[in-house]
A and B are shown apart, each in its own frame.
Chain A
Amino acid sequence: MIADEIEKLKSEIWQEFENIDSLSELNNFRIKYIGKKGVITSYLKKLKDLTLEEKKRLGKELNQLKADIETRLKQKEKEILFKEEDKEVGLDLTLPGRRVFLGAIHPLSQIIDELCAIFSRLGFEIVTGPEIETEYYNFTALNIPDWHPARDMQATFYLKNGAILRTHTSPMQIRTMLERVPPLRIIAPGKVYRCDADVRHSPMFHQIEGLMVDREVSFSDLKGILTYFAKETFGEKTKVRFRPSYFPFTEPSVEMDIGCVICNSKGCRVCSYTGWLEILGAGMVHPEVFKAVNYDTEIWQGFAFGLGIERIAMIKYGIDDIRLFFENHLYFLESFK
């Protein structure tokens, strides 16, 4: 009789167990069945009238049941607690988060750092020098005597004491060569100044000068180094071309163009419909320059190059007004985060 009842009880218990959905239901269930005054306890009490053998068998069964309930209740409790945390009302997550804002390094500074990194990988070291220069370093030592029409290529700011604002970073060639003995590979980034201002020209702008002097460095090598630079800066597929040009401090002289990245060399306003963009000037160091620094041209030869940072930044970022760089409007600067 009682054994049947226990069987029935079991099925009742597990059925009810399935319906538990909250911590309070779970508690009630616990009290109802396995509490001190619970159903199972009352059954255990009922066992005392049975035979010893039955008492033992059913007692064990009931205790096992109690243990099972406890185990499963623990499990159930965990499940409910897990679900409980998901029941909280969702927030308005369409609101923006609490931002912490990073600043930005100026785009010209970024380009300089990028180019310095490229040339550093090629084994060039970075040097710096004065922005206020003498005519000797800026012109004369670079084979541009004062009567030379090439001085017209660079409108110069003069200072009242006779010094000038350097018109290019090329004086760093002279300064470095006077200070060191070859071989050497340097780049010199910095500000330079020229006396004109419009959409394309700023009275102050930035250049990077490069110089390599060694025993065998040749014109082919110059092409190699500059081609590498162009491809790393503007992409592996960038086309380059080299045109003869003229700078008093290099011979032979060359200008490097890259295929216009704006129109894909099809021709546009930026490239004057030529499909090419002029990027830099370069050449083999002129013997007069080596003479000015007492380098023996029988042993040493070298190449030099100079490139305009603003020009590269304008091409890279598609900027058509150089003045944006020096107005420093926040919206502009924010684009370079």
Chain B
Amino acid sequence: MRVPISWLSEFIDLKGSPEEIAEILTMGGIEVGSIEDPYENLGELVAVKILEVLEPEELKEIALCKVTDGKEVYTVITTAKDQVKPGLVLGLVKPGSTTFTFQKIEIKHIKKYQSYGMFLSPYEAGIGEEKDKLLILPEDAPLGESIYKILGISETVLELEITPNRGDVLSILGAARELHTLTSWELKPIKFEDYLKAGNKFKGKIEIEDKDGCFRYAGRFFANVKVQESPFHIQKKLWLCGLRPINNIVDITNYVLLEFGQPLHAFDWNKIKDHTIVIRKAKIGEKLLMLDGIEREFTEEDLVIADAEKPMVLAGIMGGEDSGVSEETAHIFLESAWFNPKRIRKSSQRHRITTESSYRFERGIDPEGVILGLLRASELILEIAKAEKFSEIMDLYPKPYIAPQILLSQKKLSKYLGFSIPLEEVENTLNKIGWVRRSEGSFEVIPYSYRQDLKIPEDLIEEVARIYGYEKIPTTYPKAVLYAKAPLDIINLENKVKNVLKSLGFFQIITYSFIDPKSLEKLNLSHDDPRKNLIEIANPIASTQSVMRTTLVPGLLETACFNLFREVNSLKIFEIGKVFFPTEDVLAYEPMHLGILLMGNNTEEIWYEEPRKFDIYDLKGYLEEFFEILKIPIQFKPYSSEPFLKKGVSFDLILNNSKIGFAGEVKNLILKEFDLKTNVLLAEIDLEPVLKQWEEVFKVKKPPKYPSTFRDVTCILKREIKIGDILEFIKSLSVLYLEKVKCIKIYEGPPIPEDEKSVSLRFWYRAPDRTLTDEEVNEIQEDLAKKIFIKFSAKPR
């Protein structure tokens, strides 16, 4: 809502600068977003002196002027040939700037000539009526200076950001009342001549059929109006508020809307069939071509203003093209009404139209303003549109507004605010928003009709607090019952996961929860994969963000791609976040997932180390450490069937016999789909089963009392034999004193035959109660080695 200070001062005796007014309003809850001078905002409208006037032969109608702004010389083309002569100082609007008439100026070419801007008339400059004359500035005016500075013209407009509950401030009058409430600056009385309230008998018929939709409907008839351009002072005020002038009748309705916050609608009387006005529900299928050029079809929930035959206006929102006022209009009917805010909002939403009018009706207008607005408009129509006659005011008000009586006890006020404001002060404050009756320890308040946002005692508490000043309310700590609760497991787990992965050198990423359904196609998921059971967004910003993710993989791959295209060739990242699956219910199943991605090399090229591509053993190593820290007995089951992973270098992650995730190298074809020209490994884990099993328990190991000894065995095996199988086999033998076994070396290549490999295992032995002798260990080891050799057809090396 734009509020020009000059207009505001017609309603209130302002006793502060615009900055002070802005501060008062902001601290009172009406935030002032900016303080502007609309003249300045037009751009460069400056004084220039004509140096030379040329009259090109081929263009008889124009003059070519060489002008200077004191710094440079420009050529400006003008059709006002007879008004220009060297030495004259004129107003020039430069290219890129705008005129009062909403004209955006560009460099213009006529034949071979170029016009750098346009000479201004007083009207185009927004300082007077004259359109046919150029604005002539004093001879000694400083060239290049803003014409408004030279002429001492300025306006200040406050941009108010009004919260939805304060529809009453959506007008100049409303802003004045609010300032009065916050400061006690005197309001100027609003008076109307008595004759405006009378008038001839109304010759039409008005009926409110839908009393739920229309609470009050008033209007009057005007005969023989002259529809023409509005006078300058009306246009200027509309311009200050950002509205374009149309014709005097429409301008007056806009003027009153801005001034009093009362939306009005003017009908062409002769277009109203049978001069009958019915406020009713629309009939299914009824259509109306509206002022924005769009034909809309109504439903029974829409409220329309109809004549005897058809709808003319979508009530409170927008009129039809036919019934509106035009140059040919002679008689008009002017409507001033109060519609049900809920109904207006629903229609406005359904048809996706928001107008100055619907915006105000939705937020609730002042029921008493209906007549006030009509009177104000009448005054202006008589003065400006020279109406010859007018009718009485028709006022259909079936159920007059009754303001609520709100009881506020002093006790409640103090308890709510945490301190006491003196009763006198409370009463003075409440007096500004309604009629107050003070009784023992409490106040009974009937708010003014324009303050329909005040309904309950808490609303009054806010009024008292804000008028008194939030700043003056003390700052204290609550007195509360002490209680504590251990943090949720999921939060502990999340923190643990983040910290572990950070220590392992991973960077946490956060990507959008909505993804592109195409990215799941790219992953080549089969059609019955549960991850293709998607929750779709009905109104996505873009199709690339139109479904809720069911896996973190697309986000990880896209982040990798984003980095790869911006100088980052290697990456270690993870994301922890929810994925979403539909359920029988409205709500979704939202398990927390962890995604991990490795890309590129394990190190940058650097003097001490040869970089090497991340491979599956890197990923497995990180996951082993991760799960060990979490004390989750995860199993790595080779060869996942995830379609986007290379089978031979992938695992399913198994916990308690069920799959909770996967890890592996991404297929080259998939990488191509995601524009990734490097190696990528990834893993995704459902943290919900992890959470169930996760406990912060520690098994503390003590330093050994007796030394261990180790024995190495190197053997030649068939290549296809898996080390894991050998270790499993050894484990199954439950060898006495054997503490651990590790594979310490694998060698393939000459002189070992092509289908074989050399494997070295190291065995550690320890007894809990003594030092083992060499003989003992040798005996156990030999026996064990024999068993292994037989089992796996191995040969010693």
Residues of A near any B CB (own CB < 8 A): 95-96, 98, 100-106, 108-109, 113, 120, 123, 125-128, 130-134, 147-150, 152-153, 157-163, 165, 183, 185, 191, 193, 195-197, 203-204, 212, 214, 216-221, 223-225, 227-228, 241-246, 248, 251-254, 272, 284, 286-287, 301, 325-331, 333-334
A-B contact pairs, 26 of them (CB 8 A): A98-B609, A102-B503, A103-B507, A105-B502, A106-B509, A130-B590, A132-B590, A157-B539, A163-B586, A203-B514, A203-B541, A203-B545, A214-B479, A216-B478, A218-B417, A218-B418, A219-B465, A220-B473, A223-B474, A224-B478, A244-B29, A246-B165, A246-B166, A326-B510, A327-B559, A330-B571
Option from B341, B473, B488 in Cβ contact (under 8 Å) with A219: B473
Besides A147-B346, A149-B164, 6 other CB < 8 A contacts? A103-B508, A130-B590, A134-B586, A147-B342, A244-B28, A328-B559
Q: Give A127 to B505 CA distance when docked, in angstroms.
A: 29
Is A126 in contact with B487, judged by CB distance below 8 angstroms? yes
Cβ–Cβ < 8 Å partners of A328 in chain B? 507, 509-511, 559, 562-563, 573
Cβ–Cβ < 8 Å partners of B459 in chain A? 251
Is A218 in contact with B478, judged by CB distance below 8 angstroms? yes
Cβ–Cβ < 8 Å partners of A101 in chain B? 505
Is B537 in contact with A183, judged by CB distance below 8 angstroms? no
Option from A134, A225, A243, A254 in Cβ contact (under 8 Å) with B31: A243
Residues of B near any A CB (own CB < 8 A): 26-29, 31, 33-34, 163-166, 341-342, 345-346, 362-363, 415-419, 456, 458-459, 461-462, 465-466, 470-471, 473-485, 487-488, 490-491, 495, 498-499, 501-514, 535-541, 545, 548, 559, 562-563, 566, 568, 571-573, 577-578, 580, 582, 586-588, 590, 606-609
Is A103 in contact with B501, judged by CB distance below 8 angstroms? yes
Cβ–Cβ < 8 Å partners of B33 in chain A? 272
Q: Give A140 to B476 CA distance when docked, in angstroms.
A: 32
Is B502 in contact with A104, judged by CB distance below 8 angstroms? yes
Cβ–Cβ < 8 Å partners of A148 in chain B? 164, 345
Query: How many inter-chain contacts with C-beta < 8 Å in the A-B complex?
Result: 250
Cβ–Cβ < 8 Å partners of A254 in chain B? 470
Closest chain B residue, CB of each to CB of A122:
B477
Cβ–Cβ < 8 Å partners of A227 in chain B? 475
Min CB–CB distance A170 → chain B (angstroms): 16
Is A159 in contact with B164, judged by CB distance below 8 angstroms? no
Is B166 in contact with A163, judged by CB distance below 8 angstroms? no
Q: Give A149 to B498 CA distance when docked, in angstroms.
A: 41
Closest chain A residue, CB of each to CB of B419:
A220
Cβ–Cβ < 8 Å partners of B480 in chain A? 123, 183, 185, 212, 214, 216-217
**With A252-B458, A284-B458 as contacts: A163 and B512 at CB distance below 8 Å:** no
Q: Give A204 to B459 CA distance when docked, in angstroms.
A: 33
Q: Give A195 to B542 CA distance when docked, in angstroms.
A: 10
Is A95 in contact with B607, judged by CB distance below 8 angstroms? yes
Closest chain B residue, CB of each to CB of A213:
B480
Is A287 in contact with B505, judged by CB distance below 8 angstroms? no
Is A329 in contact with B590, judged by CB distance below 8 angstroms? no
Is A132 in contact with B510, judged by CB distance below 8 angstroms? no
Is A223 in contact with B502, judged by CB distance below 8 angstroms? no
Is B535 in contact with A132, judged by CB distance below 8 angstroms? yes
Is B590 in contact with A125, judged by CB distance below 8 angstroms? no
Min CB–CB distance A249 → chain B (angstroms): 12
Min CB–CB distance A166 → chain B (angstroms): 11
Is B510 in contact with A108, judged by CB distance below 8 angstroms? yes
Is B587 in contact with A333, judged by CB distance below 8 angstroms? no
Residue with the highest number of chain A CB atoms closer than 10 Å, among B28, B461, B507, B590: B507
Min CB–CB distance B354 → chain A (angstroms): 9
Option from B29, B511, B582 in Cβ contact (under 8 Å) with A161: B582
Cβ–Cβ < 8 Å partners of A218 in chain B? 415-419, 476, 478
Cβ–Cβ < 8 Å partners of A96 in chain B? 606-607
Residue with the highest number of chain A CB atoms closer than 10 Å, among B363, B471, B480: B480
Is A243 in contact with B470, judged by CB distance below 8 angstroms? yes
Option from A162, A220, A327 in Cβ contact (under 8 Å) with B476: A220
Is A132 in contact with B415, judged by CB distance below 8 angstroms? no
Is A132 in contact with B548, judged by CB distance below 8 angstroms? yes
Is B510 in contact with A106, judged by CB distance below 8 angstroms? yes
Min CB–CB distance B353 → chain A (angstroms): 14
Cβ–Cβ < 8 Å partners of B419 in chain A? 218, 220
Cβ–Cβ < 8 Å partners of A185 in chain B? 480
Option from A244, A248, A330 in Cβ contact (under 8 Å) with B568: A330
Is A131 in contact with B590, judged by CB distance below 8 angstroms? yes
Closest chain B residue, CB of each to CB of A153:
B164
Closest chain B residue, CB of each to CB of A303:
B478
**With A158-B539, A218-B415 as contacts: A252 and B461 at CB distance below 8 Å:** yes
Is A244 in contact with B536, judged by CB distance below 8 angstroms? no
Q: Give A109 to B507 CA distance when docked, in angstroms.
A: 12
Q: Give A246 to B363 CA distance when docked, in angstroms.
A: 13
Cβ–Cβ < 8 Å partners of B470 in chain A? 223, 242-244, 254
Cβ–Cβ < 8 Å partners of A325 in chain B? 510
Cβ–Cβ < 8 Å partners of B509 in chain A? 106, 328, 333
Q: Give A284 to B122 CA distance when docked, in angstroms.
A: 54
Is A132 in contact with B588, judged by CB distance below 8 angstroms? yes
Closest chain A residue, CB of each to CB of B540:
A157
Cβ–Cβ < 8 Å partners of B490 in chain A? 128
